[in-house]
Structure 1
Amino acid sequence: MSPAAGPGVAVVGNGPVGQTTALLLARWGIPVTVLDKRPHRSAVGSKAICQQRDVLDIWSSLGADRIAQDGLTWTTARTYYRDRELFHWSFVDRGHSPLPAFVNVSQCHTEEVLDELIAAQPLIDVRWDHDVVDLQQDADQVELRCDTSAGARRISVPYVVVAAGAQGNDLRELLGVTFDGQTFDDRFLICDIRAELPGWESERRFYFDPAWNPGRQVLIHPCPDSTYRIDWQVPAGFDLEAEIARGGLETRIRQVIGDRPYEIVWKSVYRFHARKVDRMRVGRVLLAGDFAHLVAPFGARGLNSGVADAENAAWKLAFVLKGWAQDALLDSYGSERGAAAAENLEVASRTMRFLVPQNRAEQELRRSILDAAVSNAEARGRVDSGRFAEPFWYVDSALTTNDPERVFGGRPPRGESPGVVPGVLVPDAPVRVEGRADVRRLRQLVRDGLLALVVGAGTTEIARTLSAATAAPSVVLRLEDVDRDGVIARALDAKPGEVWLIRPDGHVAAVVVAGDLTALTAAARRALGASA
């Protein structure tokens, strides 16, 4: 992509969400200035470890395949009540993606990989030691005032993405947004330990009320290099230093792993929050990641959702800055990612209510469900040990053209993806494109503009129609020409005479009849935030 004219976008926050936003904007040719108040990167602890397939795909589009390659792939989630396994499940892929459903890899390693890509990208200027202390905007630009060790600095840009993390209360106040929600009193003790635990390398294990943490939970995740992340739910007021001094931490670890050698790599105590801002667009400023929404980690919906924020923001900002769409397209960032944040908050908060009952009645209800779940399938379905991160479904978005023949069936079972309808992320699958040896799977085709997959019809008139409908780049391909094995056609349940219009983030914008060029024009314009 050729660089856009002008100063581009400022990204506040140089964590994984900010890094991803910057790299995606640069991929579209947009200059980016990344600001972070820290003096440098701090590589402490594993932090966010579970990265979902569709997030790995976003990073792969940037050249960050190492994140998936270096991560530890796990395939099965097991849930126990005391010493009895209640159920287990594995992930289902509607397509044939070469990427794993989930990998576990430390956030520090993810940041390292993204830092290397940023260092090689001339369109990105990273400025550490830049604390944004004031933000003013008018109809044309945003002016940021930063405190630095060398004095105050001012930066003016057309747009800003704030991905400054959970602790950005001063910036939220500057923007005039609320951050309402709940903070849970119970603490969670987190330890990364290095040990050899044969048979545990590819499984996530969740224990309700084990003998070694009665009345509470323990979660165990495998990580690379024989490292395991162990989370213990502990009471309010838990004192880690006192626990270490009396030998309690040693006892906790031994109760999980037995009499094996181990090394503590990192340890910390957290309280979890369920909060979101009241709006994710404030004029020329978009809010993303933990700055905009906080959820409990049971389900890995934090960083995974933040990276989806980054992609949604990046392509829309790029299209506006390049003149392919009007500023109104950015309204859909607020509505789409706001709805995604609400969904994640609802799912994760429901899990926390099951994990941390707030009164005796809730405690008794949970105990009765767990007791019954040992032998009753219906009760097992009510046990909530965390529903894992999944892409949000933009079925109600103003950018989506609904199809009465393809109606969203609601939230699918754990580990599965929904049927493919407008608004849903298109499944990944192998493709072969003439003259494009660099493209081996469908998702590698979607990020260069609008993609139209034509089923059993010609492409010339479709391409001409899209070119007339929008100045944005578009690619038109016959599905049969690229889907040589029929995997995509089966995953989509594609029918002859259809055109599948796919957005630059891979979500299906519309399914229209190839001969109805008026409907195709309207769908393309709608997908870019314009009135049909």
Structure 2
Amino acid sequence: MDPVIITGAGPVGLTLALALARQQVPCVVLDEGPGKDEPRPARTVVVREDAVALVERLTGTPLTGLGCRWAGWRSTRRKQVIREVVFGDTDPAPLHIAQHELTGVLRAALAREPLVKIAVDSRLDGIEQETSGVTAHTRGPGGTWWRGSYLVGCDGPRSTVRKLQDIRFPGRTAVERYAVAALRTDLPWTDEALLHRSPPWRTSGPSAGEIVGRPLPDGVWRLDWLLPPGKDLVTPELLVNRVRETLTGWVGTSNPSYELLDTGVHTVHHRLARRWRVGRVLLAGDAAHLLGALGTQGLEEGLRDADNLAWKLALAWHHGPREALLDSYQEERRTAIAARLRAADQVLPLLRGGGGLRSYVPGSARGNDALLADGHLGRGTLGSPGTYGASPLAPEHLAGEVPVGTPPGAPVTDVRVTAEDGTFVRLRDRLGRGALLVVLIAPGTGVWERKHWVTAGIMPRLAAAVTALPHYAELLVAESYPGAAAHTVLLVRPDGHLVTALSGVRPADLYAAAEAAVGGATPPAAAESTEEEAEAGAAAGSR
């Protein structure tokens, strides 16, 4: 079987390559550049806990030392603090990290991965697709033809893959524009991000309204100033004036000390590709969608694209085409992105359109500040990760289905579980291996060795039901799960989204749910795969 071709060596393409390799799928990454990324302190990303866990699981490298986890968040309007958030164990902080640090970790992990080849200085300029595979042509010093089973375009907003497949990319241009500076300075607070609206030292003009400060390691800060609509040139003098004005207002000295490290202008576009799949060619990341207004982050949605697509491509690569499963990638991910774009479009006129409701509704300004904070913190309709409740992979008519704290299609809560070898692990640690996860909620099992309860009660019957499923599944046991009663059985997809929760051991319901989750009835090629192959795949995923 030919490898999967991935065009683009940004965070999304590199993450997808790692995720496929962890499931024993070989890949070729076509990198336009020289194989390394230029350090740009002003080019940073904010990633929430699920995206951080994905990258750390794939690379085996903690990201916290490379970025900054905020101690808190503060929203200020003029001189008044509107909202304060303190992060802790039950409310994990976002991670703010320079993008070159993130890609560096991914590249280092791929350098150790024998199943992935990175072809540098290789610019895609042609795609030919047949029913059996894809052929891609690159130009450059090593220009050649590449043969692949599938091709995924992770090649950014100006995606060559998207253009070669004649996929429309409608949307809005320059929804917001920011002047950006990365600088090293001492501020009155440490490790706390802030949103300052209508600062008292700026009294006029649309750009008077908003400054965002996000800490990085080693005393470095990224500051973003909202710019007025239009294409006015952002000169170095303008940026230096903004820096001095802002630091003077925050620090209270007329000549604040700082070291300017990097500057730029960040323009936010909102676009959504009409199609994310054309036969064996797919899109992910900025090639498929652009978002980012009101504090939202587009990169983490690209990482979720990679997580969603990897296990589906891996299953198709190992067991033959699964059309319904591959089609579900577009239906799930495009629907989730479209919902966030609609939410931003609805809120933008209120927050950026002058008076609006603020002129008529008392207290609405405070509500608008809360909406902005949701975008920055990954909460609410603006910032929360998407759920797949209406997925074509969702099972229907399960008599034993019961509600738990996680609705079907949403990401599961990361609880402690007992693995089949008796060790205690986090539920997220078992994701991304291509296996379904069956989790039994059994209070008390956490204080007894597995040998004492593995053959007791409902465990033997559940183990037999798991063995009979149409796709390889791992049986885990948790002492508790939010909203779940004792003996509830959860079925979780390889990307960590809940398929269903059942009351007790119900083999027929569990089988039907597992069959739906992998795209329907198992094709003959998959049905003929041996038990040894399934065990080998599971062992490979645990590397």
Shorter chain as denominator, the TM-score bin is: 0.7 to 0.9
Helix, strand or coil: the match of 2:170?
strand
Is 1:208 aligned with 2:201? no
1:444-463 Cα distance to aligned partner (Å, 9 max, x none): 12333111112455233334
Change in CA separation of 1:421 and 1:186 when aligned onto 2, cut-off 3 Å: closer
Instruction: Kindly provide the CA deviation profile for residues 45-88 of structure 1, in whole angstroms up to 9, marking residues without a partner as x.
Output: 24242111001111121134321343211143322222222223
**What does 1:43-122 correspond to in 2, within 5 Å?**
43-46=38-41, 47-90=43-86, 100-122=92-114
Specify the code of the residue in structure 2 equivalent to 1:132. L
| Compared CA separation, residues 383 and 28, structure 1 to 2 (3 A) | closer
- Match status 1:10 vs 2:8: no
Which residue number corresponds to residue 411 of structure 1? none
**Residue 229 of structure 1: which of 217, 222, 230 is its match?**
222
Which amino acid letter does the alignment assign opposite residue 13 of structure 1?
G
Inter-partner Cα distance in structure 1 for 2:313 and 2:347: 34
Structure 1 residues 404 and 432: CA distance shift in structure 2, 3 A: closer
1:412: which partner in 2?
none
The one-character-per-residue Cα deviations of 1:182-236 (angstroms, maximum 9, x if unpaired) are 113653101111112242x232211222234444211111111111111001222
Q: Secondary structure at the match of 2:323?
A: coil
Matched, 1:219 2:208: no
Whole-angstrom distance in 2 between the partners of 1:145 and 1:68: 39
Write the letter of the residue equivalent to 1:527: A
Match of 1:423 among 397, 409, 412: 409
| Cα distance in 2 between the residues matched to 1:101 and 1:280 | 32
8 Å Cα contact 1:370-1:379 kept in structure 2: no
CA shift digits 1:96-153 (9 cap, x unpaired): 69xx431111111111111110111111100111111111212111111111124x31
Alpha carbons 1:206, 1:217 under 8 Å: kept: yes
How do 1:252-291 residues align onto structure 2 when only pairs under 5 Å count?
Answer: 252-259=246-253, 260-291=256-287
**Structure 2 partner of 1:441:** 426
Q: CA deviation at 1:324?
A: 7.6
- Show the counterpart of 1:161: 152
The question of whether the paired residues in 1 share the 8 Å contact of 2:75 and 2:195 is answered with yes
The whole-number CA distance in structure 2 between the counterparts of 1:404 and 1:254 is 64
**Aligned with 1:176: secondary structure?**
coil
Distance 2:325 2:241 in 1: 57
- After superposition, the Cα gap between the structure-2 partners of 1:191 and 1:469, relative to the gap in structure 1 and judged at 3 Å, is same
**CA distance in 2: counterparts of 1:369 and 1:290, whole angstroms:** 38
Aligned CA distance change for structure 1 residues 526 and 434 (closer, same or farther; 3 Å): closer
Q: 1:54 to 1:314 in 2, by over 3 A?
A: same
- On the 8 A contact 1:133/1:147 being kept in 2, the answer is yes
Q: Quick check: 1:476 aligned with 2:470? A: no
Counterpart CA distance in 1 for 2:288 and 2:311 is 19
> For 1:386 and 1:177, how far apart are their aligned partners in 2?
29
The alpha-carbon deviation at position 495 of structure 1 amounts to 2.2
Partner of 2:121, secondary structure, is coil
Query: 1:240 is matched with which residue?
Result: 234
User: Identity of paired residues, percent?
Assistant: 29
In structure 1, the residue matched to 2:538 is none
Distance 1:70 1:256 in 2: 26
**1:76 is aligned with what amino acid?**
G
Distance between the aligned counterparts of 1:356 and 1:89, measured in 2? 24
Deviation of 1:325 (Å): 7.1
**Residue-pair matches, total:** 493
Q: Aligned to 1:190, what secondary structure does the other structure show?
A: strand
- Which residue of the partner structure matches residue 125 of structure 2? 133
Aligned position for 1:399: 393
Root-mean-square deviation (Å): 2.9
**2:364 maps to 1:364:** no
Which AA in structure 2 matches 1:347? A
Give yes or no for contact 2:12–2:306 (8 Å, CA) kept in 1: yes
| Contact map agreement 1:355 1:385 (CA 8 A) in 2 | no
Question: One-letter code of the match for 2:140?
Answer: T
Give the structure 1 partner of residue 16 of structure 2: 21
Mapping 1:165-176, distance limit 5 Å: 165-168=156-159, 170-176=160-166
Unmatched runs of 5 consecutive residues or more in structure 1:
1-5, 358-362, 409-417
> How many Å apart are 1:18 and its aligned residue?
0.6
Shift of 1:435: 3.1
Corresponding residue SS for 1:109:
helix
Work out the CA distance in 1 between the residues paired with 2:399 and 2:182.
49
Secondary structure of 2:12's counterpart equals: helix
Distance 1:329 1:476 in 2: 23
Contact 2:73 2:194 (8 Å CA) reproduced: yes
Note closer, same or farther for the CA distance 1:383–1:110 as it changes in structure 2 (3 Å cut): closer
Task: Please give the secondary structure, in 2, of the residue aligned with 1:40.
Answer: coil
State the distance in 2 between where 1:443 and 1:517 align.
25
Distance (Å, rounded) in 1 between the aligned partners of 2:121 and 2:292: 30
Deviations 1:324-361 (A, max 9, x none): 8723311111111111211232234445444432xxxx
**Which of 440, 454, 457 does residue 454 from structure 1 map onto?**
440
Instruction: Specify every segment of 5 or more residues in structure 2 that has no aligned partner in the other structure, as ranges.
Output: 443-456, 523-543
1:431–1:463 distance in 2 versus 1, CA, 3 Å = closer
Tell me the SS of whatever aligns to 1:86. Answer: strand
User: TM-score scaled by structure 1?
Assistant: 0.85
Q: Distance in 2 between matches of 1:524 and 1:322?
A: 18
CA gap of 1:378–1:56, structure 2 versus 1, over 3 A, is: closer
Distance change in 2, residues 1:332/1:119 (3 Å): same
- 1:163-195 CA-to-partner distances (Å, cap 9, x unmatched) read 111222x43221121111111365310111111
Contact 1:348–1:386 (CA under 8 A) maintained in structure 2? no
Are the aligned partners of 1:369 and 1:379 in contact in 2 as well (CA < 8 Å)?
A: no
Change (3 A) 1:252 1:239: farther
Report the Cα distance in structure 2 between the residues aligned to 1:407 and 1:354, rounded to whole angstroms.
39
The answer to which of 53-62 and 344-353 deviates more is 344-353
Would you say 1:144 and 2:136 are equivalent positions? yes
TM-score by length of 2: 0.83
Secondary structure in 1 matching 2:34: coil
**One-letter code of the match for 2:2?**
P
- Distance (whole Å) between structure 1 residues aligned to residue 108 and residue 235 of structure 2: 36
The whole-number CA distance in structure 2 between the counterparts of 1:24 and 1:271 is 30
State the partner residue of 2:531. none
Structure 1 pair 505/248, CA: closer, same or farther in 2 (3 Å)?
closer
Q: Quote the Cα distance in structure 2 between the aligned partners of 1:186 and 1:509.
A: 37
> Could you tell me how far 1:474 is from its partner in structure 2?
1.1
Call closer, same or farther: CA 1:391–1:237 in 2, change over 3 Å. Answer: closer
Matches within 5 A, 1:326-405: 326-357=322-353, 363-365=354-356, 367-368=358-359, 372-373=363-364, 386=375, 388=378, 389-401=383-395
CA contact under 8 A between 2:399 and 2:509: conserved in structure 1? Answer: no
Amino acid at match of 1:475: E
- Alpha-carbon distance in 1 for matches of 2:425, 2:374: 36
